Amino acid sequence: MNRRQFITTAGITTLATQFSLSTVQAEIKPQTIIKPPRLQIGDTVGLVAPAGIIEAKDIEDATKTFAELGLKVKLGKYILERYGYLAGTDIQRAHDINRMFADKSVKAIIAMRGGWGCNRILSLLNYIDIRKHPKIILGYSDITSLLLAINARSRIVTFHGAVATSTWNQFTVSYLKPILFDAGIVTMQNLNNIEAGKVEVINPGKAKGKLVGGNLSVISSMLGSPYLPGWNRRIFFAEDIGEDVYRIDRMLAQLKNAGILNQFSGFIFGQCTNCKPGDEPTFQLKQVLQDYIKPLNIPAFYGSMIGHIQDKFTLPLGVDVEIDAVSGTITMLESAVS
């Protein structure tokens, strides 16, 4: 490492220390949740890699994708860095997020991909400054950590949806644009003409509450930390990928034993991509969900277009919604952006 690199790294380290968790806990007070400003044609979005490694080709493809939406891009300083299986050191990845929120030219922040790594940087984020500069932040999978932490600590609406390397097809864009550009109040409903669009009812009925959720594995890994929002009377959604059914069972048991599962007013399970039953004897995912959710007697369904799939909803965390378990719909009761 040369002298200039050392000074830069040392400076970032000092900056990160100033934004330590103890400072955040001391200064952030519970406040009304803020809706970030909507996107407009011609806006600049900041691309960051807060988790897994990306390639230059990923940036090239993402730039074309956002150009088609009428958006410009600005890259995080360390977006192509590598540190083991991470896209840079924890300090570098946190630095890019903090800088994007502080940058007045950037109107939204979009994660390049998930993977693993976001939990490692939660204590390095400047939640006070983030609240002062509310912006759309979008992603899913491992990005769940950032969405929940910023929602809880900075009290800003965050968005569970496509990452920059996702398939930005007509379905995905048809939900993203009305919500993020038009400040629309949208009803999300599965496509019924494909097998993946089939909704299964766990408990019928309708329920209202603020929407919260994300990747189930990530949420389980965050339990006991100060980076989670409240659960009481929330509409909870979850999705996952590559988990044997017994692991989903274990994570739901963790939510139950932590006293969280029985606080929800409604429950949605999205897609569990490549989640296999495992060795015999075993359960099907449907049976596990029935075991944990049906006794709660709350409206609940599974099969929603949420998760590691091409067709994705854009879900605003912290916004009031109503679900209908029979029709499998999620209806926003207010806009998610200002």
- Residue type present at position 211: L
Single out the residue of 83, 129, 135 nearest to residue 109, CA to CA.
Answer: 135
Q: Which of 154, 220, 243, 308 is catalytic?
A: 308
- Calpha distance 199→249 (Å, rounded): 20
Inter-residue contact 333 to 208 (CB < 8 Å): yes
Name residues whose C-beta falls within 8 Å of residue 237's C-beta, 6 or more positions apart in sequence.
160, 211, 212, 213, 214, 267, 268, 269, 270, 304, 306, 315, 330
Q: How many CB atoms lie within 10 A of CB 294?
A: 13
SS3 of 106-160: the string is EEEEEECCCCCCHHHHHHHCCHHHHHHCCCEEEECHHHHHHHHHHHHHCCECEEE
Report the alpha-carbon distance of residue 125 to residue 155 in Å, rounded. 14
What is the Cα–Cα distance from 252 to 238, expressed in whole angstroms? 10
User: Taking a C-beta distance cutoff of 8 angstroms, is the pair 237, 213 a contact?
Assistant: yes
Backbone angles phi, psi at 246, to 5 degrees: -65, -25
- What CA–CA distance (Å, rounded) separates 198 from 176? 21
Our answer to whether residue 95 is catalytic in this structure is no
Q: What is the bridge-based pairing of β-strands 235-241 and 206-215? A: parallel
Helix (H) or strand (E) holding 211: strand 206-215
Given a contact cutoff of 8 angstroms between Cβ atoms, the answer to whether 139 and 163 are in contact is yes
Among 239, 243, 265, 335, which one carries the catalytic annotation? 239
Active site residue 239: yes
Assess whether 141 carries a catalytic annotation: yes
Of 95, 123, 141, 145, the active-site residue reads: 141
Question: Which residues form the catalytic set?
Answer: 141, 239, 308
